[in-house]
Amino acid sequence: MTNTVSSRDPKIANDVKQAIDSETASLREVSLQIHSNPELGYEEVFAHKILTDYIEERGFTVTRHAYGLKTAFVAEYVSPAAKALIADGHVGLASALGTKVALEKNNLVGRIKLFGTPAEETTGGKIDMINKGAFNGLDACMMSHPAPGDVVYCTILSVGGMTVEYFGKASHASASPWEGVNALDAMVHAYNGLALVRQQTAPTSRIHCVITNGGAAANIIPDYASGKIMYRATSADDHTNVRDAVMKVVNAAAEATGCTVKITKEMEYQAVPINEHLASRYASYTADLGVKYLPRAVQESLPSGSTDMGNVAHVVPGIHPVFNIVGLNGEIDRSISNHSFGFVAQAKTEVAHEASLRSAKGLALTGLDVLIEDGFAAAIKDSFEKQVLKGGSGLSSLEQKLKAMTGIGAGCGCH
């Protein structure tokens, strides 16, 4: 059996929207419960139970603690299957439900997988799952993320992270400071060195550093100091250049102060290559739902962060749009940023819930087209192979233009 329709069919589109709208109260309850019970990476035990129980009760086959990760899961629905789709995250919960109902009501073939992926903000659960084959055999991957604006064409940066520890020799800071080897001096040297390196990095790259341990008492030469460093870029080449510059500074600080250094790498997320076919289809569907987007060039120039979804989108065609939980009128609210207390408070509002459902419907309709529209999955795959697998730049159109003019990429990341 094959499918010869698409989500542009009014009945199919309506089935998706009604399926999600019918669960709005239960989805909001799930969201509020998780919001009220924040958890650390790889310890999302409460969220794991809430999400797996919810999706299992609605007809999905659930594998808990998937791929050897305590808080990962896979929820799968199969009609007489030919293809596969991945959704991820809380919005993915609603989009998976909408897609499933549309397949059932219209006797369509397809397979849906909803992945619960832990620890995005630390070491990246998706990377562990990639290494264990979780995303093999899928035709597309999609997730969306809350933000203070609606953006499809995000310039999502690569990111690397490390913990740096310097080891010196303790001594009395007044009686015999010359006997000591100051580990804090090394950490400060590194911090200041990274600040100077920023001048020689591309405008689209980012370097962040915090000192996490600078000693215990002012009258003791610190024999131990530590810090955390992150670096970001828009392209693989720039990422390598920034990482190499960071490593030189970190090691030079040890040599300059007579300390030894231990470097523990913690994350390496790739930039997200946006699949043009998925992105334009999602933008079209969400625009029909009332989302107002700024021109593409403006979207691509907006500040952004990083995600382990970038690694997934290098093995499966994907997108990672963001949706505005602050307002529904298309304006970007620059007074509230991700990872702030104001954003936390906004995330539990009715406006945020409505915005989440709009994004979920866009993902569901786009994902359904991957499964049922003739030629769409093939076009997505062809674009992916040219952009990612065969060494395409992976840069947005704006980045390519600026790269040609100035030798650098466009877009910017969190700082």
pLDDT at 79: 87
β-pair type (158-167, 224-233): antiparallel
Report the mean per-residue pLDDT for the chain: 90
Cα–Cα distance, 353 to 93 (Å, whole number): 13
pLDDT tens column, 303-316: 789 999 999 999 99
pLDDT at 392: 53
Tokens of 75: 């929820």
- 413 pLDDT exceeds 70? no
Strand partners, 167: 224, 260
Cα–Cα distance, 95 to 282 (Å, whole number): 12
Residue for token digits 């990095």? 201
Residue for token digits 């909803």? 114
Cα–Cα distance, 317 to 89 (Å, whole number): 17
Cβ atoms of residues 321 and 152 within 8 Å: yes
Cα–Cα distance, 411 to 409 (Å, whole number): 7
pLDDT-derived band at 391 (thresholds 50, 70, 90) equals low
pLDDT at 5: 80
Strand partners, 208: 230
Cα–Cα distance, 126 to 131 (Å, whole number): 9
Tokens of 32: 């509020």
Region 95-121: mean pLDDT is 93
Cα–Cα distance, 53 to 175 (Å, whole number): 64
In 3D space, the residue among 42, 103, 49, 34 whose CA is nearest the CA of residue 67 turns out to be 42
Region 254-281: mean pLDDT is 96
pLDDT tens column, 43-69: 999 999 999 999 999 999 999 999 999
Secondary structure letter of residue 152 according to DSSP: S
pLDDT at 83: 60
Q: Which residue has the higher pLDDT, 85 or 412?
A: 85
pLDDT-derived band at 87 (thresholds 50, 70, 90) equals low
pLDDT at 332: 86
**Ranges of H-type helices in 58-175:** 89-105, 125-131
pLDDT at 3: 65
- 120 pLDDT exceeds 90? no
pLDDT at 403: 37
Determine the 3-state secondary structure of 269 from DSSP.
Answer: strand
Cα–Cα distance, 347 to 361 (Å, whole number): 18
pLDDT-derived band at 404 (thresholds 50, 70, 90) equals very low
pLDDT tens column, 348-377: 999 999 999 999 999 999 999 999 999 999
pLDDT at 393: 45
Q: Per-residue b/e over 357-382, b at no fewer than 16 CB within 10 Å?
A: bbbbbbbbbbbbbbbbbeebbeebbe
Residue for token digits 């093999």? 136
Strand partners, 112: 77, 85
- 177 pLDDT exceeds 90? yes
pLDDT-derived band at 330 (thresholds 50, 70, 90) equals confident
Could you tell me if residue 290 is left (phi over 0), alpha (psi between -120 and 50 degrees) or otherwise beta? Answer: left
In 3D space, the residue among 113, 97, 116 whose CA is nearest the CA of residue 105 turns out to be 97
pLDDT-derived band at 90 (thresholds 50, 70, 90) equals low
Cα–Cα distance, 70 to 144 (Å, whole number): 23
In 3D space, the residue among 183, 238, 195, 191 whose CA is nearest the CA of residue 211 turns out to be 191
